[in-house]
């Protein structure tokens, strides 16, 4: 097992760990988005869906797994960055671009912090009902209660834009780290990553926009 520890502690090992955890989290976003879009079908159907999740014995295990993936993705990333900073505490005076720098790659650290704050607030408000007057069985009403506030809706839209930027680079970068890097396939993977980022963040953002600005919460 020594070889495994040495690999995971190496630079490439940490990148592989971050990439795999990130792709698993991307996989979670798809069914999570599908469940959230049930909001558009009305209060009864969404509350029934929420009740199914709350009473499903597998839900706590899934939540622990997601928490583990998120912490693994974040902690290993921060540890790798800290090691890089220790090795070179003074940044180079000029940065040489290899042609792969995008807004998504440049802002990865900032969007990661934004998404982290967003997740904490998201869980606190919608899962645990922080400051809400509605119970867990009234999740639709709880969501609408928060999104009727324009400040909350705008914050969610901005945070989801940050998520989209993070995904736009992280998706294809994870495949590159795993060795899927070829002149024939990389442009396709990048395009799929951008489409995935736009589709996921845009669909999530449609919920607060609909609830607050298009009369969905009324």
Q: What's the confidence (pLDDT) of residue 81?
A: 83
- Nearest Cα neighbor of 73 from 27, 36, 123 is 27
Domain contains 109: yes
How many domains does one find in the chain? 1
Q: What's the confidence (pLDDT) of residue 89?
A: 61
Q: What's the confidence (pLDDT) of residue 95?
A: 45
Domain contains 218: no
pLDDT under 50: residue ranges of the chain: 92-99
Crossing angle for the helix pair 186-213 and 139-147, to the nearest 10 degrees:
90
Q: What's the confidence (pLDDT) of residue 54?
A: 94
The CATH number for 144's domain is: 1.20.1300
Q: What's the confidence (pLDDT) of residue 176?
A: 87
Domain contains 115: yes
Q: Classify 66 as helix, strand or coil.
A: helix
pLDDT tens readout for residues 55-77: 999 999 999 999 999 999 999 99
Domain that holds residue 200: 2-213
Domain contains 190: yes
Q: What's the confidence (pLDDT) of residue 204?
A: 97
Q: What's the confidence (pLDDT) of residue 91?
A: 52
């Amino acid at each position: 097992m020594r070889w495994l520890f040495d690999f995971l502690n190496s630079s490439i090992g940490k990148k592989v760990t971050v990439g795999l955890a990130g792709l698993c989290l991307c996989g979670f976003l798809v069914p999570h988005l599908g469940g959230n879009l049930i909001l558009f079908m009305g209060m009864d159907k969404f509350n029934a869906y929420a009740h199914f999740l709350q009473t499903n014995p597998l839900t706590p295990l899934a939540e622990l797994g997601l928490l583990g993936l998120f912490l693994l993705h974040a902690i290993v990333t921060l540890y790798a960055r800290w090691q890089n900073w220790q090795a070179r505490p003074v940044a180079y005076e000029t940065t040489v671009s290899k042609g792969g720098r995008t807004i998504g790659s440049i802002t990865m650290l900032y969007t990661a912090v934004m998404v982290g704050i967003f997740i904490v607030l998201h869980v606190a408000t919608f899962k645990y009902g922080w400051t809400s007057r509605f119970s867990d069985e009234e999740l639709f009403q709880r969501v609408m209660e928060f999104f009727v506030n324009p400040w909350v809706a705008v914050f969610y839209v901005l945070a989801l834009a940050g998520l989209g930027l993070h995904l736009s680079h992280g998706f294809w970068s994870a495949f590159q780290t795993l060795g899927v890097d070829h002149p024939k396939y990389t442009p396709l993977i990048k395009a799929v990553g951008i489409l995935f980022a736009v589709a996921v963040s845009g669909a999530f953002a449609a919920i607060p926009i609909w609830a607050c600005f298009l009369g969905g919460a009324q």
